[in-house]
Copies of this chain bind each other. A is one copy, B any other.
Amino acid sequence: MNDTTPRELDQIADAAAAASALLDRTDEAVRAGWLRAIAVALDAQSSMLVGIADDETALGTPRLAGELARTTAQLRLFADVIEEGSYLEATIDHPNAAATPPIPDLRRMLRPIGPIAVFAASNFPFAFSIAGGDTASALAVGCAVIVKAHPGHPQTSASTARIVIDSLREAGAPEGAFAMVSGFDAGLSLVDHPAIRAVAFTGSVRGGRALLDRISTRPDPIPFYGELGSLNPVVVTASADSEQGAKLAAGLAASFQLGVGQFCTKPGVVLVPHGSVLERELPQHLATQPRMLTPGIAGGFAGGGERVREVSGVRVVSAAGDPGDGTSPMVAITDVATLQANADALLEEVFGPFTLLVRYQGDAELDAVLDLLPGSLTATVHSADGEDVAALVRRLEPLAGRLLFGGWPTGVAVSWAQQHGGPWPSTNTQFTSVGATAVRRFQRPVAYQDAPDAVLPSALREENPLRTPRRVDGVLVTP
């Protein structure tokens, strides 16, 4: 896959801008049809795509087949979401001369923001890549999409892009509604390009911050939706450990080693009581994993491990044996005082099969650790049956976008209520990149004041031809 040249990039961006003008008022049923056509085509090519992706990523056929199924389910969810219509937030105020100040005829809804640049992730070659959630949610609301392919899986990207482009063409979508670009420089040019109206990114804090800084130098800063680093803290209460410490050890081991630990929701720090069953049982579950996604990611994992090893007061347990080509998972164990003295070294995400156990004794030590934690995508509580965790939940709520009770954070359902995004550095916004409301990132509100019915989008016309759910004079009206 050759890098996209500056000239090609300009053509692609201009085509996206032209397509956006056409996409802007397509009906929901039409765009839903496009998304479903892409899903059908990807499903039909599943074994081919999974084979290519396994060659490139070593993530394994079962995982990749599951990820592709998730990707097409996601396209279908967004089709359902736009057909349901609430995503438009259609709102009508009829005139009210008695209000302070008087209210004219005002009609507001969300409109597509324009061409979107999507930066594909390394770790989900399907679900957060070419036809992933960002692409699906942007196309769903009527935005053209340009995806910057991740260099970790170029053939998977090219094959997926071909299927998306062909499906859209056959389904009658405008040329330019979707394109893929490749290469580091093309990515930067995309972020700078005047046609681009927002950037969606899944990757590291460093990479995201660099793009955010770059956007701030644009004459017109545009929204940046970054999904960055996350520690995903887990708190195990003393009662939970004594009731089910062995089971928790097995569950944690499965979660932090899943996909070679290359998940943004990997549990990266686990607060366990002193002398826990979990700590005692965990090492037996460590097993050498396949190679990591890219040499760069493998290097980052090794470097992160070194950084942690060098902290005095940290004990490191690895899987036995020589990993050879594979990856040896790593558990670091420390106490609260060591963590407090070395927070920078120990609380930077180590991407890969690494987790840090922090032994605490009592609520004061638990609180001290929570005070140190940066924002995360998730936070998890393991407590005994019937144990009162209300106070703990209040402490965790400000730290994460999704709070789990009794499970593990890897595994992100794609549904109406999902939230995948939390305080900095896990994201830089109050949005989600997974689930129905992910579309909101790519919409902007427009209000029409005293507009003739004929110029209004369908959802705002008085007779409500598409039976869109609306708020009329303050009252929610479902069709």
Partner-B contacts on A (CB < 8 A): 21, 24, 66, 69-70, 73, 80, 84, 86, 89, 91-93, 96, 99-104, 106-108, 111, 113-114, 212-213, 216, 220-223, 374-375, 389-390, 393-394, 397-398, 400-407, 411-419, 421, 423-425, 428-432, 435-437, 443-452, 454-455, 469, 471, 473-474, 476, 478
Contacts and interface: CB of A to CB of B under 8 A. Distances in A.
B430 A444 contact: yes
Nearest to A424: B220
Which 3 pairs show the lowest CB-CB distances between chains A and B? A419-B447, A220-B424, A108-B417
B437 A445 contact: yes
A69 B73 CA distance: 51
A471 B416 contact: yes
B402 A446 contact: yes
A398 B430 CA distance: 24
Contacts of A401: 444-447
State the copy count for this chain: 2
A366 B116 CA distance: 28
Given A221-B212, A221-B424, A415 B455 contact: no
Contact of A478 (B70, B403, B405, B476): B476
A126 B289 CA distance: 63
Nearest to A428: B221
Contact of A413 (B102, B429, B436): B102
B413 A93 contact: yes
Given A403-B448, A405-B452, A448-B403, A91 B425 contact: no
B86 A413 contact: no
Contacts of A66: 100-101
Contacts of A469: 476
Contacts of A99: 73, 413-415
Given A101-B70, A413-B101, A474-B84, A447 B418 contact: yes
B398 A114 contact: yes
Contacts of A412: 101
Q: In the complex, which of the residues A91, A412, A428 has the most CB atoms of chain B within 10 Å of its own CB atom?
A: A91
Given A216-B212, A221-B212, A393 B455 contact: yes
Nearest to A444: B430
Contacts of A222: 424
A3 B223 CA distance: 34
30 contacts: A24-B394, A24-B397, A91-B436, A99-B413, A99-B415, A101-B412, A101-B414, A102-B413, A104-B413, A106-B413, A108-B418, A108-B437, A213-B216, A220-B375, A220-B425, A221-B428, A222-B424, A389-B455, A393-B451, A404-B449, A404-B450, A405-B450, A407-B450, A416-B471, A419-B447, A430-B444, A430-B445, A431-B445, A469-B476, A476-B478
Contact of A92 (B400, B417, B435): B417
A383 B375 CA distance: 52
Contacts of A403: 446-449, 451
Contacts of A221: 212, 424, 428
B93 A417 contact: yes
A310 B168 CA distance: 52
Contacts of A394: 21, 24
A239 B114 CA distance: 32
A129 to B, nearest CB: 17
Contact of A454 (B374, B390, B421): B390
